[in-house]
Chain A
Amino acid sequence: MSTNLDAAGAAIPLRRRRVSRRSFARFTAPYLLIAPAILVIAAILAYPLYYLVRLSFQQYGLFQLIAHKGSWIGLHNYGVLLHDPVFWHTLVRTILFTAVNVALTMVLGLAVALLLVRVHKVVRLMITSALVLAWAMPVVVAVQLWYWMTNYENGVVNYVLTKLHVGDFTQHDWYASPVSALGVTTALIVWGAIPFVAITIYAALSQVPRDLVEAASVDGAGPINVFRDVTYPVLKPILLVLASLSIIWDFAVFTQPFLLLQSRPNPDYYLMSIYLFEKSIGLHEYGLGSAIAIVMVLIMLVLSLFYVRQMVRLGEVK
Chain B
Amino acid sequence: MKLNRIGWNALGVLVFAVIGFPVFWMVATAFKPGPDIISDKPTWIPLHPTLVHFHDAIHTPYFWTDAKNSLVVVTVVVALSMVLALLAALALAKFRFSGRKSFIVLMITIQMLPPTALIIPLYVVLARYHQTGKLTGLIVTYMTFVLPFSIWTLRGFIIGIPRDLEEAAMVDGNTRAGAFFKILLPLVAPGLVATSVFAFIQAWNEFIFAYILLTDAQKQTLTVWLSGFYGTARGTDWGGLMAASTLTAIPVIVFFIFVQRRIAFGLTQGAVK
Question: Which residues does A use to contact B, with CB under 8 Å?
Answer: 2, 5-6, 8-10, 25-27, 29-31, 33-34, 36-38, 40-41, 44-45, 47-49, 51-52, 55, 60, 65, 68, 112, 115-116, 118-120, 123-124, 126-127, 129-146, 148-149, 151, 153-154, 156, 159, 191, 194-195, 199-200, 203, 241, 248, 251-252, 254-255, 259, 273, 276-277, 280-281, 286, 289-290, 293-294, 296-297, 300-301, 304, 307-308, 311-312, 314-318
Knowing A34-B103, A36-B87, A203-B268 are in contact, say whether A120-B9 is a contact too (CB < 8 A).
yes
Knowing A136-B249, A154-B39 are in contact, say whether A148-B238 is a contact too (CB < 8 A).
yes
Which listed segment binds A: B48-56, B60-68, B141-149, B184-192? B141-149
Beta-carbon contact of B19 and A252 below 8 Å: no
Cβ of B173 under 8 Å from chain A: no
Beta-carbon contact of A9 and B98 below 8 Å: yes
CB-defined A-B contacts under 8 Å, sample of 10: A6-B97, A26-B95, A44-B122, A45-B118, A124-B12, A127-B16, A130-B19, A145-B242, A293-B114, A315-B271
Whole-angstrom CA separation of A34 from B88 in the bound complex: 4
Beta-carbon contact of B116 and A52 below 8 Å: no
Beta-carbon contact of A9 and B264 below 8 Å: no
Residues of A within 8 A of B238 (CB): 148, 151, 154
Knowing A55-B120, A194-B19 are in contact, say whether A252-B114 is a contact too (CB < 8 A).
yes
Whole-angstrom CA separation of A315 from B23 in the bound complex: 36
Cβ of B125 under 8 Å from chain A: yes
Residues of A within 8 A of B241 (CB): 144, 148
Beta-carbon contact of A65 and B101 below 8 Å: no
Q: Which of A6, A126, A308 contacts B105 (CB 8 A)?
A: A308
Beta-carbon contact of A300 and B112 below 8 Å: yes
Q: Which of A30, A34, A293 contacts B117 (CB 8 A)?
A: A293
Question: Which residues does B use to contact A, with CB under 8 Å?
Answer: 5, 8-9, 11-13, 15-16, 19-20, 22-23, 25-26, 29, 37-42, 83-85, 87-88, 90-92, 94-101, 103-106, 108-110, 112-125, 127-128, 140-141, 143-144, 147-148, 151, 159, 176, 201, 204-205, 207-208, 212, 223, 226-227, 229, 236, 238, 241-242, 244-245, 248-249, 252-253, 256-257, 260, 264, 268, 270-273
Q: Which of A6, A55, A132, A138 contacts B98 (CB 8 A)?
A: A6
Beta-carbon contact of A68 and B159 below 8 Å: no
Whole-angstrom CA separation of A144 from B88 in the bound complex: 38
Beta-carbon contact of B20 and A123 below 8 Å: no
Beta-carbon contact of A31 and B97 below 8 Å: yes
Whole-angstrom CA separation of A316 from B272 in the bound complex: 10
Whole-angstrom CA separation of A280 from B273 in the bound complex: 43
Q: Which of A6, A30, A304 contacts B112 (CB 8 A)?
A: A304
Q: How far is the CB of B136 from chain A (nearest CB, A)?
A: 12
Beta-carbon contact of A139 and B207 below 8 Å: yes
Beta-carbon contact of A311 and B16 below 8 Å: no
Residues of B within 8 A of A308 (CB): 105, 108-109, 112
Closest chain A residue to B248 by CB distance?
Answer: A141
For B117, B125, B176, B245, the residue with the greatest tally of chain A CB atoms inside 10 Å of its CB is B117
